[in-house]
Every structure is written in C-alpha cells, then in structure tokens.
Amino acid sequence: MMRRGQAALEFLTTYGWAFLVILVMIGALAYFGVINPNTFLPEKCMLSQEFGCKDHQITYVDPQTVNVKIFMINSLGEAIELKTFNLTSPDSTTVTACTTIDIGDTNLPETVGAGQSFTITCNNVQGSFAKSTKTKLLVNGKYKLTSGKFDRIFAGEIFAPVQ
C-alpha cells in the first residue's frame, strides 16, 4: 500500500517540476518582450458616431513627442462647427490641442459640412513613444450643430504604430 502512494507522489512531483519550468519559460519570454500583446492587436481609430475615422498616421519626432494626422468625415448628416479637438497619451497628463484642420488650411473653430471629409493635424503630442511600436492616444473635443445652440462633446481613441 505504501508503494502506491509513493509512486503517485513521485508522478505528481515530476509533473509539478515540468509545469514550473513551463511557467518560468513563459515568464522569461514575456519579460524580454517576445510575447507582447501589442504586436498582435490590430490598428484602430474609433471615434464617437458623429465622426468616421478614415485614416490616421502617427509620426515619430523624439521619445517624448509625435505628430498625428487623422483623416475624418462628418457622419452626422448636417453641418457642424468643430470647436476643439484634443489628443492625450495615457502615460502623460499633457493635453495637446489640435488647431489645424485641413479644409483650405484653416484653424479651429471651423464649419464642416454634412458628409464632408477633413484632416486634423496635431503637432507635438506629448507622451512616451518608441519608433515602430504601437501606441494609444485618447481623443476628445467639442462641436456644435450649425442649427443648434449648445456644444456637444465627443471622445475616442487611436491605437496605431509610430512611424
């Protein structure tokens, strides 16, 4: 009877050591960046329903700064006055106000027609960036319907590689 208990314990101990070795290997791979979930996640540009994000680009300037361009469309079905557009890196408390809107090289605030496409350019967005790695930027801003009286807010995020 004692031999069966010893055999079972040795069997479980052998599997325990094998399991421990596998956990250490996975931990080492994760520590050295071989297993990085950001490499497997797709790019995305998600804004509120009011705006469709057609394309985006994040350009590396230095380890603390990037320039961002977002090609968008007004999906509301009526004209709006875009008042503010801000970008923030989750690892920074600095909010970057984007002031350039490419509809004839104008600045915010600017009226955007229903279904009209436009490009927002944000220079010197602060954060912690590395070339060829994906980063997340938070978007928020204000707009007003041209037929309305009150400001409305929108939000979203961009997850894309730094070029």
Amino acid identity at 47: L
- This prediction has a pTM of 0.77
- pLDDT-flagged residues of the chain (< 50): none
CATH architecture of 40-161: Sandwich (2.60)
Reported as a single tens digit per residue, the pLDDT across 14-46 is: 999 999 999 999 999 988 878 877 777 889 999
Give pLDDT, residue 101: 82
- Quote the CA–CA distance of 96 and 88 in Å, as a whole number: 6
Residue 132 is encoded by which pair of tokens? 């060829």
Side-chain-side CA neighbours of 117 within 13 Å: the count stands at: 5
